[in-house]
A and B are shown apart, each in its own frame.
Chain A
Amino acid sequence: MHDDHRTNRTLRVHAPRLLAVGLISLIALTGLTSCKTSVSWKLGRTHGAVIEKTAARASLAIYRKPRSLLYQLYRNGGTKAAQDAIWQFGQPPVASIYVNGIGFSTQVLNQKMHGYIYGDAADFRGALLDAQDNHDCLALTLISRGAYIKNWTHKAVGCQMGSL
């Protein structure tokens, strides 16, 4: 990831030429503001972005129905099986984002996501259990209060039921 001179009002979208899903429509999903934008892409029914404007926080959320499947896989097949399934069913990146000079290029997200999923099994497992217990989304927070972080957590804000 790298700082960028782009303004916080500029959003860049890179649509990989080979990606079969086509162009995405950009709308930002937020839980704490009246902003009516969200991100949608081919598998928006299973996961999406959660934006909390006040906290300047951005997370990726796996919605409740697929989260429940993931929990069953973890409970009966173990942590690694659950991690492997996330890696399998996630999408290649279709967007990059820069806000207030920080953000993720498509390439950087590609490089880092495997580590996000597999890097801390205990963090991942704990968040999945909490998400299941609280009927929340399983969430991976990557930006908070203007800083890069990496935190598996559970989230009700911006969470959707999703579908399978």
Chain B
Amino acid sequence: MSRRTSLRSAGTLVLIMTLVASGCGRHTSNDDATEPAAGSHREVCVVTEVVRDDILRRGSFAELVERPTGDRKLIAAASAIALVRTRYDGDLGPYQAAIDHLAQVGRVNAEEQGAPPEPDAKVRASARRLDRDLADGLCT
């Protein structure tokens, strides 16, 4: 990385740091080139990675969105997606409805304000589409 700017801070100690992480880099090198393009299929893989690897395991998104309010697996998955969506907020195409629904469930649950949304037909169809495409190798 080339040096682009240099600043002076007069009369004060200035400490700055930043969080280092790569959205695609959890099991790869921390390389900017692996950053998924917004709205790409790779982005939905990043957004759902924690849910697929740590929470769902053998479950499905279609089953997940039907879980009752307060269900631990639903809260965990929704929280994870809401967090990662703060960074990866691109258009997810056919998966957007399911992901947005889960993110909203996560936010409402964390903020403890109001009832989480219920899935509608569009959310269910989006979740089924995500399951089908994952089974067909979307994120492998």
Contacts and interface: CB of A to CB of B under 8 A. Distances in A.
Contacts of B53: 84
Interface residues of B, number: 53
B17 A109 contact: yes
Interface string A120-164: 000000000000000000000011000000000000000000001
A91 B18 CA distance: 8
B95 to A, nearest CB: 17
Contact of A88 (B6, B87, B106): B87
B99 interface: no
Nearest to B20: A113
B122 to A, nearest CB: 22
A70 B110 CA distance: 9
A134 to B, nearest CB: 16
A69 B9 contact: no
Contact of B15 (A14, A49, A89): A49
Contacts of A95: 16-18
B15 A28 contact: yes
Contacts of B6: 10-13
Contacts of B2: 14, 17
A85 B50 contact: yes
